Amino acid sequence: MTQQIQATKVDRELDTRGLLCPMPVIQAFEAMKGLVSGQTLRVVATDPGSKADFPAWAESLGHRLLRHEEDHGVYTYWIQKG
């Protein structure tokens, strides 16, 4: 599992800790603009709503949510640009 985490190459990081909906997805939208198809954005969030929001957001834009993690109220998402 740990190896898999390290294996996921990250091309851009986005820290949205402390921000509430809709700021995490809006910032992710902006961050994605700088990436090309196939590159991966890692987003860190503390908004509990983001757990449902990021899968929906990624699907609607054709991005792939590669994986997500939850650790004591901190959510991490690996999203590959579609």
Partner 1 sequence: MQQTLEKLTLDFQEFQRLHLEAHKETAPKRLAIVASKGSLDMVYPPLILATTAASMGWEVSIFFTFYGMDALHRKRYKGLKVAPLGNPASPAPFQGIPFQVPNIIGAIPGMTAIATIFMKRWMKKANVPPVEQFIDMAHGMGVKMIACSTTMGVMNIKKEDLLPIADIEGAASFLHFASKATVTLFV
Task: Return residues touching partner 1 (CB under 8 A).
Answer: 18-23, 25-26, 28-29, 56-57, 60-61
| C-beta of residue 10 within 8 angstroms of C-beta of residue 42 | yes
| C-beta of residue 42 within 8 angstroms of C-beta of residue 76 | yes
Residue 56 to residues 3, 5, 15, 16, 60: CA-CA distances in angstroms? Answer: 27, 22, 19, 17, 6
Residue 21 bears catalytic tag: yes
**Looking at beta carbons only, is 61 or 66 nearer to partner 1?**
61
**Looking at beta carbons only, is 5 or 73 nearer to partner 1?**
73
Least distance (Å) between residue 9 CB and partner 1: 24
Sequence letter at residue 63: H
**Looking at beta carbons only, is 5 or 56 nearer to partner 1?**
56
- Which one from 11, 14, 19, 21 is the annotated catalytic residue? 21
Least distance (Å) between residue 43 CB and partner 1: 13
Q: Which residues pair with 24 in a beta bridge?
A: none
Residues annotated as part of the active site? 21
